[in-house]
Each structure stands twice: as C-alpha cells, then as structure tokens.
Structure 1
Amino acid sequence: MDPYVILIGAAMLITSILLSPLSSRVGMPVLLIFLAVGMLMGEDGAGGIRFDNFELAFVIGNLALAVILLDGGMRTRAETFRVGLKPALVLATLGVFITAALAGLCAWLVFDMHWMIALLIGAIISSTDAAAVFSLLQGHGLHLNERVSATLEIESGSNDPMAIFLTLMLVSLIGQEGASTLADGLMMLVRQFGIGAVVGVAGGFIIVEMANRVRLTPALYPLMVVAAGLFVFAGTNILSGSGFLAIYLAGVIVGNRPVRMMPMILQVHDGLAWLAQLCLFLMLGLLVTPSSLLSLAGSGLILALALIFVIRPLAVFSTLWPFGFNRRELFFISWVGLRGAVPIVLALFPIMAGVPEAPQIFHFAFFIVLVSLLVQGTSLAPLARKLKLEVPATGEPYRRLPLDVSAAGDHELMLFPLRGDRWNEPRPLGQLRLPENTAIAGIFRNHECFAPAPDLHIGRDDVVAVFAVSNSLTELGKALSGRPTPEHLAERTFFGDFVLNGDALLGDVEQVYGIEFDELPPELSLAECFAKRTKGHPVVGDKVKLGPVVLVARATEADRVTKVGLKMTDS
C-alpha cells in the first residue's frame, strides 16, 4: 500500500478532530466540518484527490452507519418506548412515504426530468439520518423532554427500511425489471421490517448472553459487541431483512440489559461511533465534485427549502397529531428532519444500477444534505430553548468504571467532581443524602486521597468516588452535581417552590393553598389531570395550567405522574 495514502488519510482525520471544537463555538454541526474537510481535499479542492470508487464508498458507508446505529441503540433507554415507539414507527413508515411522495412531486415540478426519476430523488431524501440526529442531540448537550427526544431517536433509527424499500423499488421500475416489481417490492418491505426486527431482537439477546457467560480480558468486551453487532447486520442483509433496523434493535437490547463491563463498552463504542462518523463524512466529501453542485444550486435550493419548511412539517403534523404532542413539540420534530449520510449512501444505489441520471441524483442528494445541515443543524439548540422543550438534566459522573467481580454485582465505581456555586461552602460528608445500596469509596483533593468519614468536609473541586448501581444515577446526580444551570432550568424556577404527590386530589390542594380550580372536579387527582391533557403518556416537564397556578410534572413512573411541582403564574 502506498504510504502516502495512509499519511493523507491520517492528516485528514487529525485536521477534522482539531477543527471539531469550532462546532460548539460557531454553532455549526461537527458533521459539516468533516464534510468540508473531505471536499477541501477532494478533486476540486486543495488536495486534488480523485476518489470515485462508489462500490468501496457503499461498503464503507454501510459499515459506518451500522456502527453508529449500534452505539445509538445502546444509548436508547427502553423506558422511552412507552411514549416514543408508536409515533416514531408511524413517522418512520407513513411519514417517510408522505415525504417521498411530496418531495418527488416537488422535484418533478422544479426539475426537467422524468416523473419516476423525480420520485426516486424523493425516496432517497425521505428518511432522517441517525448519525446526524444522534450527533447533534448529544453534541449540543440538549436535554429535551422525553416525548420529543424518544420520538426523534427511535424514528431516525428505524426509518431506513421504508426509504430503502422505496429507493430499490423505484430503481427496479426504472430498470423495467418486470410487471411484478410492485408486488415484489411490497414483499421486500415486509421482509425488511419483519426479518430486521426478529433478527435484531434475537441477536441482541444472544450478544447479552455471550457477554455475560464468557470470561474475557476487559478490553475485549467492546470489540466482541461490535463484531457481534456487525454479524447481526450482515446476516440480516443476507436474509433480505433490514440490517440497519436489526443492528439498532440489537443495540437497544444490549443497552437495556445487565451486561458485564457495560460502562467500558459504552466508552469504547463512543469512540468507535465518532471514528465511523469521521470516516463516513470525510469519504463522502471526497466522493462529491463541488463544481457539479453549482449548476444544481438554484433548483436544489428550492427542493431543500421545500423539504425543510413544507414537506417535513406536513408529514409530521399529518401523522403525529393523534399522539398528544403539543404544537411546540410538533414544530420542533418537524425542524429536526435532518438529512445526513443515509440519503447520500442511498444515492449510490442508482449509480451501481446504471441509471443514466445517477450522477445528477447523487449530487442533488448531497446538496440537500448540505443545506439541511447548514439550516437545521445550526439552529437546533436555539430553537429547542426558544420553544421551551428543555428539562433540567441530572448530573452525570465524570467517569464510570465497571467492577469485574461477581461479588460486586451491578455496582460500578463512579467519579463525581464537585462543581458550581453550591459547593463553595464546604459541608460535612455526613450531610449527603445518598441512595440505598451506595457507598462512598473516597475523596480526592489536590492529588491526595481521603478516607470517607461523616465529619470530613467536602467542597468545590473535590472528586467524590462512589460505589453505586446504574439505576441510582438520577439520585446521585441530584446529590453531587453542581454544574452551572441556566436560570430557566434551575429546579425552583422550572418546577416551582412546592412539591406534591401525584395522588393528591385537586380538592385537597384547593383547601391547603387556598386556590380554586373551577375547570376540573375536586375528586380528580393531579396525576389524572396530566393523563387527560397528554392522552395517557405524561413526561417530566409537562405542564397543566389551572387558574392561577401551573402544575409541572416532576417525576413519572410508567404512564403516571408521581411528583408534581406547583408554581404561580406570572399574573
């Protein structure tokens, strides 16, 4: 192998990594930086590298997306399925179909091309991209309410089968492969979803059993999980199912079951997912010819803006209105219809099938992805805050270290740095209220370790080492977190000064606080108020305005609000 290839590839990776901090400083999606570096080193850029191996690009693109989906699946909490699964699946199927049809109609009206080619473009750009959605939601540090975040994550991880089905069916129809193509296409859709779901879930449970039953060197567990995930991905594709759906579901199963060395697995997979995104977007940047985009800019911009401002909102509002979303949530979900690597990878299908208009289709897809990342990606965080969809985040430990000892069970060693104004005044360690089955391991201060003692004072910049299980993270975060919080997300500002049980009756609240609720009967509980307003799926941050007060859901269990904050309205 030519050493210059390795040298240039490594230089591109280093450059992209060093430029990534610009993302948070200028509000630009980091994926856009990776694309720009690839384009700069490409045929029309300073690097002058000519890369047109579409078959290799297709293989690398599929592998990278598989790794990203596996990591995203492992970070998706199963509890979120109660509020996000049904709307996400409707959006991932019917929503994708509506998007493809309307985008195809728009392309046919704007471009001078055959209507089937226009529909093919619509199908290619119809699905949102998991890599872009996961990267932007996590990269901006957004802690959205569960109804919105769950819907977006599950949709982006499960909408590829529908887009692939529409793309392959249209490629086959354009190639005139027979009158039975439509029927075959419908069977392909059933196989994509059915086989993908079954193999993905089964594969996830098998991976869990392998990780828990086989004793390995700790560093090998993450490698085993990614190798097994790719085995599930490839095996599902061989069986004509959706490998993307299968590996995402396998990740969900692995991430929500007790798995040995899970913190290390997640930590390593975070790096693997970043490497996959880097390689994927750098390669796609090399693959495109920027000069070819200029001739498409006018018509491409019309389609891209129509997709962002008209087509995606129509698909979202027409499919999600029965599920209890409010208008702010629907508007935000409409805006997060991010296009990323998936449309560009799908645009490789026509090239490999020999469709005459394939190069033009590829550049249209690439241009629309660029516009989507620029317009939607840069405005994501400000819009979420403007629409008041953020909820207070619990403090996460700086580091989680697994204890690979059977006697320790599910306990981990977690390190919590004490930051923020609340720790300016030192306090005795004995005053901390920690969850059950939790123990302080030690206190680190100025390169020294102190044994825990009730009268030991702890304060700002100390690091508390705790033995705890993962389901104690929320309570630990509240007890030990002290990171600066925006004023509007401070607990008392967001939830109010009073905390009530969800079982409390409106009549009792009226008597205690001297408030009259004329809208609802007094025998109704606070939890039932939220159930009525949210169609049975309340989440933390939901609000119910009753006369002079606002009730804010503070904690939920299953589909019931257990803790309610009460605050007075501005009036």
Structure 2
Amino acid sequence: MVVLAQAATANDQATVLDFPLQAHLLFIGILFLGTLAISRFSPKIGIPAILGVLLLGLSINVNILEITHEQASTFQLLGLALLLFYAGLKTDLAAIRGFLEYGVVLAVGGVVVSSLILGGLIWLLGSPWVESLSSGIEVIPLGAAMLIAACLGSTDAGATLSVLRSVRDKVPLRLQHLLEFESSVNDPSALLFYGLVVGIFVASSAAGVGPSLESTVLTQIKIFLQQIGAGLVVGFVFGYLARFVINDLVEERSQLLVVAMSVAFVVYGAATLLGGSGFIAIYVTGLFLTNTRYRSPEINHVTIQEVLLPFNTMTEITIFLVFGLLVYPPDLVEALPVGILSALGLMVVARPISVLMLQPLSPFSFKESLLVSWCGLRGAVPLALSYDLIVAIPRIRGIDPLIVGELSKNAESIIFIVVVVNLFVQGISLPFLARTLGLNSAPEVKSGQPT
C-alpha cells in the first residue's frame, strides 16, 4: 500500500509538473498560428508582415514563457547566424553583375555613415540641452547613443521586397536586385560595425579601468580587420569543403536541410574559435554555396534556398515575436519622443544622406537612388542586437552607475520604437513613392548600358 501510495503521489506530481509544459506548448502553437494569420493579413493593409508579428507579441505581452533576456540573447545570436547564412544564399552574383562594386560600397558605407549620423542625433535628443524631449528619460551619453545607432545600422531585405511586391511592375528588376544585395551585405557589415563601436566605447573590465581611448581605437581596428580577414578565409574554405560534402553525401533533396544546417553551425563555431567573425564566415559560406555548380543537376542555389526558406522565415518571425513578448508597453512611454524623432531622423536624414552622397559612384539614376534611400526598412537584426546592447551599456566608459538601469530600458525602447515607426511609415509610403517616381520606363534603357 505504501508503495502504491508513493507511486500515486509521484504520478500526481509528474502530472502537475507536466501541466506547465503542456500549457507552454499550447500557447506557442496558438502564437504561431496567430503569426500565420497576421502574415496573411498585414500585407493587405500595406504594412510588412513582420510588423504585424511584432505588434502581435506586444499586444499579448505575457510572461507565460518565462524567457529571460539572457536566454533571449542566446537565441537571437543563433537566429542572426541563420539569417546571415540565408542572406549569403540569396546573394546571386550573376544578378548584380555590373554594379557589384557599388553595391558593396553602398552596403558598407551606408551602414557606417547612417549610424554615425543617427548616433549624433540620438545623443543630441537625449542631452540636457533638449529638456522638453529628454524629460522623463535619462541623459543618453555619446557611447550609448552610438551603440543604439549601430544596432539600427542593418536594413531588412525581406520587409522591403515584400512591400515592393505590390508595385513590382513599377520597380526595375535591376533595382530590386540591388536592394536585396545591399540588405544582405549590410547585415554582416552592421554586426562588425556594432562590434567596433562596442570595442571603442565599452571598457574591457567591469571597473571601467583600461588603456587610453586612442590605444583602444587602434586595438579595436586591428581586431576588426582580423575578424574580417579570418572570417573571409574560414568562410571560403568551409564553403569549398561544403561543396564536396553536398556532391558526395547528398543523394536527394530532403538531405540538403541537414547538410546545410550542419555546415552553418560548423562554420560559425570554427570561425569564432579561430578569432574571426562567425557572422562574416557564415555569410561567405552561404555566398559560396549559392554561386557554385554541383554534380547533380537537381541541386543548385535555388534548391538550397527553397529548402532553407521555411527555417529562415520561422527564425525571423520568432525574433520579432519574442521581442514583442518581452517588451513591457509602459516602458515605451518615456522613450516615445526620442524614439519617434530618431526614427524620422533615420528615414529623412541619415539614410538618404548615406545613399545620395554615393550618387557619383552609382550606375543608377537619381530617381532610382531616391527610392533606394527610402527602402531602409529595419528588421530582425536591430532587435536581436538590442539584447547585447543591454549587456554592453553598464560597461560603457565613464558611465554613471546610477543611470544604467533606466538607460538600458530606454535604449531598448528606442530601438523598438524606431523599428516600428520605420516599418509602418516606410511600409505604407514605399509603394506610393515607387508609383510617383515612375521608374517603369526610363531605367529599362539604362539597364542595357555597360556600367
């Protein structure tokens, strides 16, 4: 009887312990069904699907999943790696022939210029001089402002192209290829630039004691170049090896998923252990795999993209959903003025300047460049980086410990507000601008010219 009673008690305890897991699974299932409905409905009203998913998470905003920021940061790191791998797979060099150099300059230079301008603007908006805006929000030091801006350096190809889909006949195919290429390349560029900014403004020790700023800048530039170089080498080497793996081990399409995901994780881990940028390496590997030929006629870059597309979509949706679930709506109120003005500054000042200043190097017309300057929709990468930002802010050189908690909360809120405003305003207005510019005739003549 005692044994039976103990067994019954253990069974009851197991049932009680299993219930939260069942509730979690039910909740997650309902959430993802909701994201599917939102993804179908949002484009019909002219906004990107990912904005609808983000707002869905914000509207629910419950803690049933009990996800900590540390856990979310780990997940976002993994998500970023997968997004960059797919971005490399989507970069078809044949499609951008004729403007490859300009695309690289636009992607890299655009990230740096727009981030520097936006960082200065956020620092100004969060300064004591603008008391009417910064009342209720702690002063934003220059280091924190630059970190926030660096988080917002990357654009989202998926959001941009999904919005342009409704006016595809108004946007030359060549220009669509440029937008997709720029968005793919500026992801690793933004991540590297963010790392450089962190190295410059964040102290290496918890006490904030370290070498001089000049010495730190030189050291971080060396590390920056080392990460790029090692990342490129590892990416090309493993990309070449992955080609042999696919040729020799993959016998049918269903096996591509396992091989591709395994290659992605191996590349990221190897590059990181060797002191390189895992993000650069994983992007380069994807770039190599999509621009090479395989032994089997059934396997090509389109096949690999189609196999990984559901996982890429799932990753991006989950990043937006988790971020929406973790943001506490009342925390956004204090940061609304600075966040909205930062979003407007990014859209009408920082992004246009970063694109139009390169117009002398551009093979595209001024109207086309104007459309490109308005296609800087922000997406999953800024949201994912915001979790690392919360960890970095307490270690900013010379920061007052008394403002760390409030500053971290406001920084996360500013990024959230900028992404939402950016996706909404540009998502609504982008098709109208494409129709107004009338790009469906003149660019066709220019596209046949050598560049």
Question: What residue number does 2:133 align with?
Answer: none
Picking from 1, 5, 22, the partner of 2:41 is: 22
Query: C-alpha separation between the residues in 2 aligned to 1:24 and 1:385?
Result: 17
Given the alignment, which residue of 375, 387, 403 partners 1:336? 375
Secondary structure in structure 1 of the residue aligned to 2:376: coil
Q: 1:205-244 maps to which residues of 2 (within 5 A)?
A: 205-244=240-279
CA–CA separation in structure 2 for the residues paired with 1:189 and 1:542: 41
Match of 2:181 in 1: 154
Matching residue of 1:251: 286
Which deviates the most, 273-282 or 53-62?
53-62
What does 1:135-214 align with in structure 2 at a 5 Å threshold? 136=163, 144-172=171-199, 173-175=201-203, 176=208, 177-179=210-212, 180-214=215-249
State the superposition RMSD in angstroms: 2.7
Cα distance change, pair 84–54 in 1 and its aligned pair in 2 (3 A): farther
The SS at the match of 1:78 is coil
Specify the alignment match of 1:504 in structure 2. Answer: none
CA distance in 1, matches of 2:244, 2:171: 33
Picking from 5, 24, 32, the partner of 1:13 is 32
1:379-390 correspondence runs (5 A): 379-390=429-440
Match 1:31 to one of 37, 46, 50: 50
> Among 64, 75, 79, which residue is 1:64 paired with?
79
Distance 1:236 1:344 in 2: 24
1:279 to 318, 321, 338: 318
Equivalent residue number for residue 376 of structure 1: 426
CA deviation vs aligned residue, 1:73-111 (integer Å, no higher than 9, x gap): 323321134333212222233322221221111112111
Alignment of 1:35-184 (within 5 A): 35-43=54-62, 49=64, 51=66, 53-112=68-127, 113-133=140-160, 136=163, 144-172=171-199, 173-175=201-203, 176=208, 177-179=210-212, 180-184=215-219
Report the CA distance shift for 1:241/1:333 in structure 2 as closer, same or farther (over 3 A): farther
List per-residue Cα deviations over 1:211-230 (Å, max 9, x = no partner): 11224343112221122123
* TM alignment of 1:295-306, pairs within 5 A: 295-306=334-345
Q: 1:382 to 1:210 in 2, by over 3 A?
A: farther
**Match of 1:178, as an amino acid?**
P
Cα offset for 1:373?
0.7
| 1:541 lines up with 2:444 in the alignment | yes
Task: Confirm or deny: 8 A CA contact 2:167 2:431 kept in the other structure.
Answer: yes
Pair 1:186–1:139, CA change in 2 (3 A): farther
Once residues 28 and 199 of structure 1 are traced to their aligned partners in structure 2, the CA distance between those partners, rounded to angstroms, is: 39
Q: Quick one: structure 1 residues 383 and 203, their matched pair in 2 at CA, closer, same or farther if it must change by over 3 Å?
A: farther
Q: When you count strand as a share of all residues, which structure comes out higher?
A: 1
Note the alpha carbon deviations across 1:525-560, whole angstroms, 9 max, x for none.
xxxxxxxxxxxxxxx7134xxxxxxxxx5x68xx48
Give the Cα–Cα distance (whole angstroms) in 1 for the partners of residues 40 and 167 of structure 2.
12
Aligned-partner residue type, residue 307 of structure 2: V
SS of equivalent residue, structure 1 residue 79 = coil
Cα pair distance change 1:136/1:183, threshold 3 Å: farther
Offset, 1:161 = 4.1
Q: What secondary structure, in the 3-state scheme, does the structure 2 residue paired with 1:86 have? A: helix
Evaluate the alpha carbon distance shift between residue 354 and residue 120 of structure 1 in structure 2; reply closer, same or farther with a 3 A threshold: closer
Deviation, structure 1 residue 8: 0.8
Q: Does the CA contact (< 8 Å) of 1:304 and 1:371 recur in 2?
A: yes
Query: How far did residue 363 of structure 1 move?
Result: 1.2
Q: Which amino acid aligns with 2:275?
A: S
Paired residue for 1:435? none
- Report the alpha carbon displacement of residue 366 of structure 1 after superposing the two structures with TM: 1.1
Cα distance 1:227–1:134, how it changes in 2: closer, same or farther (>3 A)?
A: farther
Judge conservation of contact 1:131–1:341 (CA < 8 Å) in 2.
no
TM-score (norm 2): 0.80
Distance in 1 (CA, whole Å) between partners of 2:170 and 2:87 is: 16
Residue in 2 that maps onto 1:322: 361
User: Which amino acid letter does the alignment assign opposite residue 282 of structure 1?
Assistant: L
- Tell me, in whole angstroms, the C-alpha distance in 1 between the residues paired with 2:108 and 2:361: 16
| Overall identity of the aligned pairs, in % | 29
Q: Deviations over 1:475-501 (max 9, x none)?
A: xxxxxxxxxxxxxxxxxxx69xxxxxx
> Is this contact kept in 2: 1:87–1:320, CA < 8 A?
no
Give the distance between the partners of 1:359 and 1:52, measured in 2 at CA. 17
Cα 1:320–1:187 shift into 2, 3 Å: farther
- Output one character per residue of 1:4-47: Cα deviation in whole Å (capped at 9) or x when no partner: 1111111110111122221231111000111112112214xxxx
Corresponding residue for residue 265 of structure 1: 304
Secondary structure at the counterpart of residue 253 of structure 2 = coil
Higher normalized contact order (CA 8 Å, seq sep 6+, divided by chain length): 2
In structure 1, stretches of 5+ residues that fail to align are 391-493, 496-539, 544-552, 561-571
Could you tell me which amino acid in structure 2 is paired with residue 542 of structure 1?
V
Tell me the distance in 1 between the aligned counterparts of 2:65 and 2:330: 13
Higher helix share: 2
User: What TM-score, normalized by structure 1, do the two folds share?
Assistant: 0.64
- Counterpart CA distance in 2 for 1:244 and 1:280 is 17
Q: How far, CA to CA, are the matches of 1:347 and 1:19 in structure 2?
A: 24
Deviation for aligned residue 1:52: 5.1
Structure number with bigger Rg: 1
Q: Which runs of 5+ in 2 are unaligned?
A: 1-17, 128-139, 395-403
